Structure 1
Amino acid sequence: MHRRLCLLLTALFLLESTVLPWILPVAWQSKVLVSPHFSLVIVLFIGLFANRHTALLYGLFFGMLNDIIHFSPMLGPVAFSMGLTGYLAGLMNGRLYSSIVVSMLVIALGNLSYEMIIFGLYRLFRVTHLDFQWAFFHQMLPSMLINLLFALAVYVPLRKMFESHAISSSAAEE
């Protein structure tokens, strides 16, 4: 299970940082800043369907990788926010009825929280001077919508993967 998650997260990390910036239409890039965070979506799914501590570890690792590879102005804000949102999504595991609507709501709120935490940290340390309203409507909302579309596309396969792992691990314990 962990091997498949590591391979999936690594492939998505490479995809979102190499191929997807070329696929996004040029017209979008002049009006809005869309940044796909597919590895964050998977970390949120890990929190929802597996374990909050596992989501925290994956979020910290792939967030730090994101900080290092993408030349972040500071080391750690992406790792902190990805780990925290994965952990918070994991707090919903077992507390709410698990349906696609609830999962998409948690993914959307997790993605917005991720973007707002990074924006808040960058404003706190004066890395950015953008207005929150402009950043919300031109960066955070479009990014959340793209990530929500991706989450919707991978919901069924990921849910089946997590459920099959839960069934096989419970059968192994008996």
Structure 2
Amino acid sequence: MNHKKIWLVLALLFWLENTIWPWLLPEAWQTKVQVAPHFILVIVMFIGLYINRHTALMYGLIFGMLQDFIYYSPMMGPISFGMGLTGYLAGLMIGRLYSSIFVSMLVIALGNLFYELIIFGLYQLFKLTHSNLEWLFLHQMLPSMLINLLFALAVYVPLRKMFESLPQKLAEADE
């Protein structure tokens, strides 16, 4: 496997996350909770866990900036910063924790909450949101985290096999 497959997977998820996903949500959910899928963030954290933190930072910054520019942000950079930093911090777990599905899902869950809190903090800092953190946590952060954990669980085995097939020379060149 080389980085072309990673680019292809992330580009496909970028398209899926922002075009198909809104149609898949039941209408009853759309009034009670706001589910924001961060499938690219999940893959970036997996890259941090199974390849290295520098590669995760690069992919997080690039695809975060694409999302800032095309879809989400009223200002440039918060999604990119949050995604890059979260991927980098997930990459710090390499060698510090035994790599298992439980540890990976825990890192994904905490990383997702960390990412959401970074975005909320930046928007609050620049007065772009006036939402209450408690309401936001219950109605957006937790449902989004659960959807992203289900996605992470669904892609765990194929991604781990894909990342483990990465030639050692290519992974070391990224360090």
| Interval containing the TM-score (normalised by the shorter chain) | over 0.9
Match of 2:23 in 1: 22
Aligned partner letter, 2:104:
S
SS of structure 1 residue aligned to 2:105: helix
CA distance in 1, matches of 2:74, 2:24: 25
Deviations 1:18-74 (A, max 9, x none): 000011111111000001010000000000000100000000000000001115111
CA distance in 2, matches of 1:164, 1:121: 38
TM-score normalised per structure 2: 0.94
Q: Which runs of 4+ in 1 moved over 3 A?
A: 166-170
Match of 1:136 in 2: 137
- Count matched residues: 170
CA distance in 1, matches of 2:170, 2:51: 12
SS of structure 1 residue aligned to 2:165: helix
Deviations 1:98-148 (A, max 9, x none): 000000000000000000000000001000000000000001010000000
- Structure 1, unaligned runs of 5 or more: none
> 1:1-174 maps to which residues of 2 (within 5 A)?
1-166=2-167
Aligned partner letter, 1:47:
G
CA distance in 2, matches of 1:102, 1:66: 28
Deviations 1:70-109 (A, max 9, x none): 1511100000000000000000011110000000000000
RMSD over equivalenced CA pairs, Å: 1.3
Q: 1:126 to 1:169 in 2, by over 3 A?
A: closer
SS of structure 2 residue aligned to 1:19: helix
User: Percent identity at matched positions?
Assistant: 71
- Residue 165 of structure 1 and its aligned partner are, at CA, apart by 1.2
TM-score normalised per structure 1: 0.95
| Structure with greater contact order relative to length (CA < 8 Å, sep ≥ 6) | 2
Aligned partner letter, 1:80:
F
